[in-house]
Amino acid sequence: MTLVTALTITESQVRVPCDEARAALDTVTGLTAPQAREKLRFAAGHTCEPVARIIDKAMSDARSSGLDPRQLVVTAAAVTAGEEIVRVRRKAHGKADWITSVTSDIRFDLTPRGLYEATGADVAPAPSPTVSRREDDVADRRPADRDPLADSVRELLYEVIDPDLGVNIVDLGFVRNVAVEQGRVAVITMTLTSAACPLTEIMSDQMRAELLPAEGDRLVSDFRIEWQWVPPWKPSDITADGREQLQAIGFTI
């Protein structure tokens, strides 16, 4: 008998090298979705935030379908090379250059725990929501309990640039979580390279300009920043896209 119960998750042009994505999925195959996400995001040693974000989205889709993500196991993972994304990066004095991002096409199944553990169960993937991404969408860090409004707030934070490094605070790994409380108040959990960093006020002002513009519609009524220093920020928190941008301007990562 064939049981049609697995959710198939696919996402194209994920900004992560194939070998890195493949290694990440290999380490979490057989884990439940929450366990896999936590391991890829917080485990000691190598992490892989882009794949963790896909699992975040998959868990949200599973909940929307009436499934408990804690009962879904990551199975049948596959990674292939995706089409490179090329973007223009504008520099000072009217100059510009090109940034090329290596991408991967990622696919895996979420299989109910009981069927995964059952000996000889033939589990066929069922039609399920497809996780997709615009070609110009940059890697982000979505919260564990994904909320569409929080996602939109996070997108605006890509416009907030670290004045010292010249890269947005999301790709630098400074934004650890975004949530929206009652009254549409955005709560942004952030860190910096050091608790003594003098840029906290500059960051706050930039975020206010993006989230609470003087003109036009506002996504939220207000926001606050919750600074988090433990665990400390580390270079591995930088996304693949962030590393490419830093390397393009002369940083060694």
pLDDT of residue 83: 81
pLDDT of residue 5: 65
More confident residue, 38 or 196: 38
| CA 62 – CA 7 distance, rounded (Å) | 8
Contact of 27 with 147, CB cutoff 8 Å = no
Cis bond upstream, residue 231 (ω within 30):
yes
Token pair of 169, please? 């605070």
Average pLDDT over residues 181-188: 93
For 13-30, the pLDDT digits (tens) are 888 899 999 999 999 999
Token pair of 12, please? 């194209």
Judged by average pLDDT, the poorest of 29-38, 120-129, 192-201 is 120-129
| CA 54 – CA 15 distance, rounded (Å) | 12
Domains, the chain, ordered by start: 2-126 (3.90.470.10), 148-248 (3.30.300.130)
Average pLDDT over residues 73-98: 71
| CA 103 – CA 21 distance, rounded (Å) | 10
Residue 57: band (very low, low, confident or very high) from pLDDT cuts 50, 70, 90: confident
Give me the torsion for CA of 51, 58, 77, 69, rounded to 10°: 110
| β-strand partners of 143 | none
What is the helix (H) or strand (E) element at residue 75, kind and residue range?
strand 72-81
Q: Are strands 72-81 and 122-126 parallel, antiparallel or unpaired?
A: unpaired
Mean pLDDT, the chain, whole residue set? 80
Average pLDDT over residues 179-183: 92
Whether 173 has a pLDDT exceeding 90, the answer reads yes
For 106-159, the pLDDT digits (tens) are 999 998 888 877 744 444 444 444 433 333 333 344 434 467 889 889 999 999
